[in-house]
Amino acid sequence: MSETKKFLYVNRKAPYGTIYALEALEVVLIGAAFEQDVSLAFLDDGVFQLTKGQNTNGIGIKNFSPTFRALGDFEVTKLFVEKESLEERGLTADDLQEIMYEDEDDDWEEKPSIKLVSRAEMADVMADQDVVLSF
């Protein structure tokens, strides 16, 4: 399998209320081993997956939000988050976790994985893919 394809994982659902967010993350983690060109899109309620301060002790479901911070180790470094979706929900970038990766092409400098994009830019990201998987 020498061919590299552009994979986009589209996250439009909030965590915990349904399992889609967690099982999407499981696909991303397994998919990392296939060395494709991977991007993640967070829009609509999907932006809630990345927020700080999640504490699931009272609901007995595993808090998987720290896993997003480990994505850099799997070379998953492009997390596109839609500004309009944040704004509609009264959120800003400050409400999101800090997610960093070390850029091997730039002397392992730490860089943010989250890229805030406008709705129009998100549409461009979506239109630039080979495979779009929606959750």
Q: How far apart are CA 32 and CA 58, in angstroms?
A: 32
HEC sequence for 22-84:
HHHHHHHHHHHHHCCEEEEEECHHHHHHHECCCCCCCCCCCCCHHHHHHHHHHCCCCEEEEHH
Q: Minimum CB separation from other proteins for residue 109, in Å? A: 29
Build a one-symbol-per-residue string for 40-79: x at contacts with other proteins by CB under 8 A, - elsewhere: ---xx-----------------------------------
Contact with other proteins (CB under 8 A) among 14, 17, 30, 53: 30
Contact with other proteins (CB under 8 A) among 51, 54, 67, 129: 129
Closest CA to 65 of 47, 80, 83, 77: 47
Amino acid at 6: K
Using an 8 Å Cβ cutoff, are 133 and 10 in contact?
yes
Nearer to other proteins, 30 or 70 (CB): 30
81: contact with other proteins by CB under 8 A: no
Only segment of 32-40, 54-62, 98-106, 107-115 that touches other proteins (CB under 8 A)? 32-40
Contact footprint for other proteins (CB under 8 A): 1, 3, 5, 7, 10, 12, 19-20, 23, 26-27, 30-31, 33-34, 36, 43-44, 119, 122-123, 126-127, 129-135
